[in-house]
Chains A and B, each alone.
Chain A
Amino acid sequence: MGASVAFWVLASIVVLAALAVVLLRDVFRAALSLILCFLTVAGLYLTLSADFLAAVQILIYVGAISVLIILAIMLTREVQRGSPSNRFRLPAFFVAVLFFAGIGYAMLNTPWQISSTPPLEPTTPAIAGLLFGQGGFILPVEIAPLLLLAAILGAIVLVREK
């Protein structure tokens, strides 16, 4: 009962915040509602009993990515011009609605094999075992820092003064 109430409250907040990101004319306010969206998604992870992921979501998205986005908004003086739509507004709307209809139809008509096992709690030791243990995801874990290093070097090279 409490879980359903939490889900519906969080779901309505997240959808409203996402709509605000798309519809608000002020870029800075759109960024703030994007942060609200990230925070609510962390709450949704908690209702899915993914406690570690909720913490990671707050650390990475709310802590780092939103700061980067706000920094970029302040570095570019496009705030006064707002966030107008281009001339593909109606086609984009129809593409989004069509996409939602198609994927929603597929989701509702697939016979998912729901397991009745209660979820693991806490998840952190199990995720650590999966990431670093035998037969787990150790190779992607090794590749991820390489990707991050390449991204950092690329970002530095791109914004460096000539």
Chain B
Amino acid sequence: MVGLEHYLILSAVLFSIGLYGALAKRNAIVILMCIELMLNAVNIAMVGFSRYIVPLMLTGQVFAIFIMVVAAAEVAVGLAIIIAIYRHRETIDATKIDLMKW
């Protein structure tokens, strides 16, 4: 029987994979994709809590909807920033975008 812990562990696995990618990748678009992966992992945990702890209130599902709204806004602005950087510097290698590094 699948319970809440299964979904929570699955969400933790997905979040860790996304965390590794966001920390270890150089391509800025891949970093953004890994952040999307992490947001999806959090959504799975939210819906799991909503299903198993308060099945009639659905609060977790409403939270997941707001996370999706924020994710859509984030991806639009993030990709716009990446394309603006690419226009100026002809690269989206995150290790070479170091203008604000001392």
Contacts and interface: CB of A to CB of B under 8 A. Distances in A.
Contact of B79 (A68, A92, A137): A68
A37 B37 contact: yes
Secondary structure dominating the interface of A: helix
A137 B59 CA distance: 10
Interface residues of A, number: 86
Q: How large is the interface on B (under 10, 10 to 19, 20 to 34, 35 or more residues)?
A: 35 or more
Interface in A1-53: 3-4, 7-8, 11, 14-15, 18-19, 21-22, 27, 30-31, 34, 37-38, 41, 44-45, 47-50, 52-53
Secondary structure dominating the interface of B: helix
B92 A76 contact: yes
Interface of B: 1-10, 12-21, 23-27, 29-30, 32-34, 36-37, 40, 43-44, 47-48, 50-59, 61-62, 64-66, 68-77, 79-84, 86-87, 91-95
Given A3-B2, A107-B12, 11 more contacts: A14-B14, A44-B44, A44-B47, A50-B51, A53-B65, A69-B75, A78-B27, A93-B20, A113-B53, A150-B73, A156-B80
Interface of A: 3-4, 7-8, 11, 14-15, 18-19, 21-22, 27, 30-31, 34, 37-38, 41, 44-45, 47-50, 52-53, 56-57, 60-61, 64-65, 68-69, 71-73, 75-76, 78, 81-86, 88-89, 91-93, 95-97, 99-100, 103-104, 107-108, 112-115, 117-120, 123, 126-127, 130-131, 137, 140, 144, 147-148, 150-152, 154-156, 158-159
24 contacts: A14-B14, A31-B33, A34-B36, A37-B37, A45-B44, A48-B51, A50-B64, A56-B65, A65-B72, A69-B33, A76-B83, A76-B92, A78-B86, A78-B91, A85-B24, A92-B19, A97-B16, A103-B15, A112-B53, A120-B58, A147-B70, A151-B73, A155-B76, A158-B77
